[in-house]
Amino acid sequence: YYTFQNMGSNSTVWPDLTEHYCIEFFNLYTLAMPVLSTLYFAKMKRQRTNDIRNHLNARASNVTIGNDGWANYSTMIQKQWK
């Protein structure tokens, strides 16, 4: 335990403690956050692409020929962008 009897502005205990924890916190998050963000966004992009492909394949397997196929496709694309 520290005794805080003379903890004025000339103290050497507080700056050492706060600088140590701030540096660890800063280094951890500046290194981890870009990596974690990149992995998360890549995963979400893959998931979205797969969901769109699965949806297109499911709808296209029902109606794929002529005007009915085009109506089906255009309706699905319009719903996607709303």
Q: 6-49, pLDDT tens digit by residue?
A: 454 444 445 555 555 566 666 777 888 899 999 999 999 999 99
Residue ranges making up the domain that contains 33: 13-80
What tokens appear for 42 in the block?
Answer: 């890549």
End-to-end CA distance of the chain: 61
16 Cβ contact partners less than 8 Å away, ≥ 6 residues apart: none
Which helix (H) or strand (E) segment is 47 a member of?
Answer: helix 13-62
The angle that helices 66-80 and 13-62 make with each other, rounded to 10 degrees, is: 160
Q: For residue 4, tell me if it sits in a domain.
A: no
Q: What is d(CA 63, CA 75) in angstroms, rounded to the nearest whole number? A: 12
Q: For residue 26, tell me if it sits in a domain.
A: yes
Q: For residue 7, tell me if it sits in a domain.
A: no
- The larger pLDDT score, comparing residue 9 to residue 70, is at 70
Q: For residue 46, tell me if it sits in a domain.
A: yes
Domain count, the chain: 1
